[in-house]
Structure 1
Amino acid sequence: MNAFPKIRLMLAAAALMVASATASIAQTAPQKIGYTNVDYVLSKMPESKQVESQLKDYSTQLENQLKAKYTEFQTKGEAYQKGASTMTDVVRADKEKELQNLQQSIQEFQRNADASIQQKQQTLLKPVLDKLQKTIDQVADENGYAYVFNSDAGYGTTPILLHGPKDGDISDLVLKKMGIDPNAAPAAAAPAAAKPAAPAAAPAAGKTKTKTKKN
């Protein structure tokens, strides 16, 4: 058998397969794609205001504890300065060690407080984000959206969606699904982790004399 007829048959079969695939794709309806701005929706949710308030209270508690530690350090540092000249070497060394330990405690507390606030924020936000995700799923199913992207660029990240048609934005549909008026004033800014205000830098204890920074 000549090779050319075989090639013709193979090409004909390939053409038939391509034609069938093209017809199948043409019969398939295009998938609907939507997007939402997570920060915008969160700012409208009453829960966000509650999270922001709780996070602020928690941060204030840590800040007060940090100030108390620093006040103790300052008080003992000033007492050490006044009495250092009359202390024995053993007592002086003991006081200096105590001040060094207090200083390290303040620094460690500051580091732990920052991590603790981040963890607290995640804990408080989880049920809010879970509710938002559930509502997005419901709106997507009810309106035939196969995919929903996030157009928000919060937390220093690049948004997943860089461009899209206005009618693809389901943010207001999500808010209405939760019973929230999209035109109402924002309940709160998107909750962000706060950090306890650090007091002035703690003075370091020297071997024979400790200088205390006065505010």
Structure 2
Amino acid sequence: MKRMKNLVKGAILAVGLFAGVQVASAQQKIGHIDADQVFQATAEFKTAQEQLKVLGDAKQKELEGMYAELQKKEKEANDLMLNQSEANKAETQTKLQTIGQEFQQMQTRVQEVQKVAQEDLGKKQQELMAPIQTKLMNAISTVAKEKGYAYIFDIGSGAALYYQGGEDVTEAVKAKLGVK
């Protein structure tokens, strides 16, 4: 009989604890945001985009000048071939060979300039966008704390941008998968 009373008390306590945990879990607020939309709506983003466009246009203009030089070399080679005769064949072939080498060197330079331009644009983009990203993440964290959100999800990417509390099951999942 005493054992039955302890069992009933234990069951009531377990139900009470379970209900308390459920209420506590139900009280966690979850929010969402389209972070990319907010990111692109900032004045800093628009300024950064303008700066990137100016840099991109400058790089494009440099490349267009190089393409124009390539076209001149190509036209020079075509003109030589059209004006080639038996009398000037050896001289024309020598000139064509020189022009061909110059053309290949110019193509290599164009490829190098394209690569450097892409790298420069990537670095500049990272330099300009990283502070905006940090500012956005700080704002999300501040709003989450002020409004009492436990989780903020980015509906654009499906990622949790902010979380506080909750149970981290990373190690349990790693163990289930046999990952150390």
Q: Could you state the TM-score of these two structures normalised by the residue count of structure 1?
A: 0.58
1:129 and 2:126 correspond: no
Please say which structure displays the higher CA radius of gyration: 2
Matching residue of 1:22: 18
Stretch deviating more after TM superposition (103-112 or 55-64): 103-112
Task: State how 1:1-215 maps to structure 2 within 5 Å.
Answer: 15=11, 18-19=14-15, 21-26=17-22, 28=24, 30-83=27-80, 85=84, 86=88, 87=91, 89-152=93-156, 159-160=157-158
SS of alignment partner, residue 35 of structure 1 = strand
Which structure's relative contact order is higher, taking Cα pairs within 8 Å and 6+ residues apart?
1
> Deviation at 1:112?
4.4
- Asked whether the equivalents of residues 80 and 92 of structure 2 are also in contact (C-alpha less than 8 Å), the reply is no
User: How many residues are treated as equivalent by the alignment?
Assistant: 149
Per-residue Cα deviation, 1:105-143 (whole angstroms, up to 9, x for no partner): 324433443444333222211111111111111111111
Per-residue Cα deviation, 1:77-99 (whole angstroms, up to 9, x for no partner): 22233345343544432221111
Aligned mates of 1:14, 1:109 — CA distance in 2: 76
> Deviation at 1:71?
1.1
- Asked whether the equivalents of residues 52 and 121 of structure 2 are also in contact (C-alpha less than 8 Å), the reply is yes
Aligned letter for 2:37? Y
> Deviation at 1:14?
7.9
CA RMSD for the aligned pairs? 3.1
Q: Which consecutive unaligned segments of at least 5 residues does structure 2 have?
A: 160-180
Higher helix share: 2
Q: Which consecutive unaligned segments of at least 5 residues does structure 1 have?
A: 1-7, 153-158, 162-215
SS of alignment partner, residue 127 of structure 2 = helix
- Asked whether the equivalents of residues 28 and 149 of structure 2 are also in contact (C-alpha less than 8 Å), the reply is yes
Q: Could you state the TM-score of these two structures normalised by the residue count of structure 2?
A: 0.67
Per-residue Cα deviation, 1:37-67 (whole angstroms, up to 9, x for no partner): 1232123311111011001001101101110
Per-residue Cα deviation, 1:162-204 (whole angstroms, up to 9, x for no partner): xxxxxxxxxxxxxxxxxxxxxxxxxxxxxxxxxxxxxxxxxxx
Aligned mates of 1:14, 1:98 — CA distance in 2: 90
Aligned mates of 1:51, 1:62 — CA distance in 2: 16
Aligned mates of 1:44, 1:78 — CA distance in 2: 48
